[in-house]
Chains A and B, each alone.
Chain A
Amino acid sequence: MKLFSFERRWILTVFDATFSGGVATLPWKASEMRTTQAFVTDVFRVGPPITMLGMRAAIWLVYLFTPLLAYALPVPLGMLSEERRSSALEKLSMSNIYALRELPTLFKMMGSMAYCASAEVQRAVGIERPDFRVPNWVEETERHG
């Protein structure tokens, strides 16, 4: 399954709101990282189609409606300041409605497989892997798109 480029941008915005935030040892922006970009392509290519369809619907919901659900603001997530995007996701994750609070958690789970898999993040938190190599799927995705 291939995402439209705007859907790709949306998911990267959600990853940024989840995994960036001015912590000195972790200065990288999720959307600019090699692993994150490759992951978004790869997961939709090889993931189970029906789950990925659900994931696609989840991107629309989270991107378009999180500000509305969190702050009663009828604007998409990208229109909020970076800090407010994170707190909007946090607020949604505390919803009393299970299906709603699971949405940001889903992206946190996906984002962690991408962002936290990168050598720079792991090294920054003290995980030294002398034989660390770039995952095969990153190179594969970069070769084939």
Chain B
Amino acid sequence: MAEPKRIPDGMQVFSMVSGQARIEDEADFVIIGSGAGGATAARVLTDAGHSVILVEEGPYVPVKERGYDVWTGFRSSWRDCGFQVAEGRLFLPIIQGMGVGGTTTMNGAICHRMKPELHAEWVRDHKLPENLSFEEFSRIYDRVDQELQIAPAPEEVLGRHNTLLRDGLEAIGFSHNPIRRNVVGCQGSSRCIQGCPTAAKQSMDQTYLPFSLRKGARLYAECRVSKIVRVNGRAGLVEAQFVSSPDRLKGPKATFRARRAVLLAASAIQTPLLLAASGIGKESGLVGQRFQCHPGISLLGEFEEPVRMWESVTQGYESTHLWTDRLKFETVSIPLDNAAARFDGYGRKLMENVERVGHLACWGVHVRSEAHGRVYRDFTGRTRIKYDMTDGDVVRLKRGLKLMAKMLFAAGAKSVSPGVHGLPKRMDHPDQMEALDQLDNSPNRYHGIASHMFGTAVMGADRKQSVVGFDGQVHEMPGLYVLDSSAFPTNLGVNPQNSIIAWSWLCTEKLA
């Protein structure tokens, strides 16, 4: 018999409210979403003495309920159990967390600052003002470094999987570094995507949310917001309903009243949907448009020596050497029950590959793609994401793959499995990857994923050309703020959680 889970003080979940007719609550600020953007806002505002309500659609999953297997994680804390896809010529999985702590609970703990070159691009092309200067972002990055204990992954937990990438990068002359991560006492268990089993990862559920709850915030989990409503011309009311996870049982309806402001941090996919459901977007026509991401693909290399991916930091090594060419390389240790889907063959052939998993390395390249997509709800109420990489994006991906094959062979791989339709299943020499150039640029030759999303409610000064102002406030609804990467004018080319935290912090400290 499973023990009932211990719910932290200040948090209410479906099972605690299911018998009630209706839930009502009121605070200075109502925050929608408890991930990087939402939890940061709660941290800043509760610290300044404000009352805060957080509303989170996903469940609360205590550390000891995190399993070894990926399905335990997918079914409890991944949106649509991991089945969400963007539709285009390629069905591109769009993966997101859905739970207390948002995607930060199941991410790789990589902490990057925005590149100064990117910031300069935003100033030049999107007229970022002085209050969003690079120094301002850096002030918050410095603070967050301290609070989330961000540091390079130490040698002891890198494991062979990560040091092999170092060898490969060194051999081809690329700059490289151990990844800076928000962890304390990481044991290199390679289970980041299932949720850290030892709470080493300083995700929001371990840091800013407990901080805020201790300061009096109230968090409603398994509670899905449907709409933001105006009161006296300003965002004042949030309508929601409790829905159990993973069974989707309907619970009581809820209304949350915000005395000062409603802060929306539901991610670059759900934020535009909520804006549209609240009647916003008519002026600019940009809500849900200009969706961007970082499509990524991986390459498997087989080594003679044991690699034992599972005995390493999930993502411990990287190179941003080609950032200006829109490419980033990193290790991605995937658990066997996820990785096997990427192995060649069926039946005996597949089983032989499963047997060799201890000798495999999995490295990924992601592209700062140029393509724009669109996020909306169709007439049935289903979330739709339309997205197609451009030819240029695919050409960059090909270049990334060829370079990664070079790195793998340079590090000692005896073969590489490209997993590209139209190429041989196994390659024994990096030159064989040149065959990629003979293939057309159809994106569906590849098996990619995207986990970094941007741009669906862009910031700007002109209300006809943007959805929110440079303070995050929605032009069409005073008192409503967007605190996630929906507001970013473009994708970053690096992992976004730190920049989302910084953006949310910069906007909320002005409200505090």
* B312–chain A nearest beta-carbon distance, Å: 13
Chain A neighbourhood of B71, CB < 8 A: 39, 42-43, 113-114, 117, 135, 137
Is A72's beta carbon under 8 Å from chain B? no
Q: Is the CB of A117 within 8 A of B69?
A: yes
> In whole angstroms, how far apart are the Cα atoms of A85 and B349 in the complex?
13
A22 touches B83 (CB 8 A): no
Q: Is B19 among interface residues, defined by CB-CB distance under 8 A?
A: no
Contact A113 B83 (CB under 8 A): no
**Given known A22-B348, A85-B347, A108-B346, contact A50–B247 (CB-CB < 8 A):** no
Residue of A nearest to B248 (CB): A46
Interface residue B352 (Cβ < 8 Å from any Cβ of A): yes
Total B residues in contact with A, Cβ cutoff 8 Å: 43
- Name which residue of chain B comes closest to A18, CB basis: B346
A114–B336 CA distance with the chains assembled, in angstroms: 11
Residues of A within 8 A of B260 (CB): none
Contacts of A57 in B (CB 8 A): none
Chain A min CB distance to B287 (Å):
23
Interface residue A4 (Cβ < 8 Å from any Cβ of B) = no
Q: Which residue of A lies closest to B83 (CB)?
A: A51
Secondary structure dominating the interface of A = helix
A136 sits at the interface (CB 8 A): yes
Q: Let me know if B421 is at the binding interface, CB within 8 A.
A: yes
Judged by a CB distance under 8 angstroms, whether A6 is at the interface is: no
Contact B69 A135, beta carbon cutoff 8 Å: yes
Q: Give the distance in Å from the alpha carbon of A115 to the alpha carbon of B339 in the complex.
A: 12
CA distance A126 to B358 in the complex (A): 7
> Given A25-B355, A112-B338: A47 and B350 within 8 A (CB)?
no
Cβ–Cβ < 8 Å partners of A127 in chain B: 310, 336, 357-358
Are B246 and A46 closer than 8 Å at their CB atoms?
Answer: yes
- B281-317 to A contact mask, C-beta < 8 Å, 1/0: 0000000000000000000000000001010000000
B75→A46 contact, CB < 8 A: yes
B74 at the interface (CB under 8 A from A): yes
Q: Is the CB of B69 within 8 A of A23?
A: no
A17, B351: Cα distance in complex, Å = 11
Of chain B, the residue at the smallest CB distance from A83 is B347
Task: Find chain A residues with CB under 8 A from B75 CB.
Answer: 42-43, 46, 137
Contact of B337 among A26, A82, A104, A116 (CB under 8 A): A116
Within 8 Å of chain B (Cβ to Cβ): is A145?
A: no
CA distance A109 to B338 in the complex (A): 7
How many chain-A residues does the 8 Å CB contact rule pick out? 54
With contact pairs A48-B81, A90-B345 given, residues A125 and B351 touching in the complex (Cβ less than 8 Å): no
Report the separation of the CA atoms of residues A102 and B75 in the bound assembly, to the nearest whole angstrom. 22
Query: What 1/0 mask marks residues of chain A from 49 to 89 whose CB sits below 8 Å from any chain B CB?
Result: 01100000000000000000000000000000011011101
Task: Report A-chain residues with C-beta under 8 Å of the C-beta of B248.
Answer: 46
State the Cβ distance, A110 to closest chain B Cβ, in Å: 8
Could you say which residues of chain A place their CB within 8 Å of the CB of B310? 127
A77 to chain B, nearest CB (A): 12
**Among the listed A86, A116, A137, which residue makes an inter-chain contact with B72, where contact means beta carbons less than 8 Å apart?**
A137
A18–B68 CA distance with the chains assembled, in angstroms? 22
Q: Which residues of A contact B358 (CB under 8 A)?
A: 125-127
Shortest distance between the CB of B333 and any CB in chain A (Å): 12
Residues of chain A with a CB closer than 8 A to B346's CB: 17-18, 86-87, 89-90, 93, 104, 108
CB pair B68–A129 under 8 Å, yes or no, is: yes
Shortest distance between the CB of B383 and any CB in chain A (Å): 10
Q: Least Cβ distance of A106 to chain B in Å?
A: 9
Is B65's beta carbon under 8 Å from chain A? yes
Complex interface bits, B441-468 against A, C-beta within 8 A gives 1, otherwise 0? 0001001000000000000000000000
**How many Å lie between the Cα of A135 and that of B65 in the bound state?**
9
Whether A116 and B348, one on each chain, are in contact in the complex, defined by CB atoms closer than 8 angstroms, is no
Considering only CB atoms, which chain B residue lies closest to A22 in the complex?
Answer: B348
Which residue of B74, B336, B340, B348 is within 8 Å of A23 (Cβ)?
Answer: B348
Which of the listed residues B308, B350, B382 has the most CB atoms from chain A within 10 Å of its own CB? B350
Q: Are the C-beta atoms of B348 and A86 separated by less than 8 Å? A: yes
Interface flag for B80 (CB, 8 Å): yes
What is the minimal beta-carbon distance from B61 to any residue of chain A, in angstroms?
A: 11
- Encode A20-31 as 1/0 by CB contact (under 8 A) with B: 111101100000
**B74, A113: Cβ atoms closer than 8 Å:** yes
Which of B90, B91, B351 has most A Cβ within 10 Å? Answer: B351
A25, A26, A115, A127: residue with the most chain B Cβ atoms closer than 10 Å: A127
A39 neighbours in B (Cβ, 8 Å): 71
**Please, which residues of chain B bring their CB within 8 A of the CB of A112?**
336-341
- Does B410 reach chain A (CB closer than 8 Å)? no
The answer to whether A21 touches B349, judged by C-beta atoms less than 8 angstroms apart, is: yes
A102 to B419, CA, bound (A): 13
* Sample (20) of A-B pairs whose CB atoms are under 8 Å apart: A23-B355, A45-B247, A48-B83, A83-B348, A86-B348, A90-B346, A93-B346, A98-B90, A98-B444, A105-B341, A105-B447, A108-B341, A116-B336, A116-B354, A122-B336, A125-B355, A125-B357, A126-B357, A132-B68, A136-B65
7 smallest CB-CB distances across A and B, nearest first, come from A86-B347, A21-B348, A112-B340, A117-B69, A109-B341, A21-B347, A116-B337
Known: A85-B347, A116-B340, A126-B357. 7 other contacts (CB 8 A): A35-B69, A47-B80, A90-B345, A90-B347, A101-B421, A108-B350, A116-B337
Please report B residues at the A interface, Cβ cutoff 8 Å.
2, 65, 67-72, 74-75, 80-81, 83, 89-91, 246-248, 308, 310, 336-341, 345-352, 354-355, 357-358, 382, 421, 444, 447
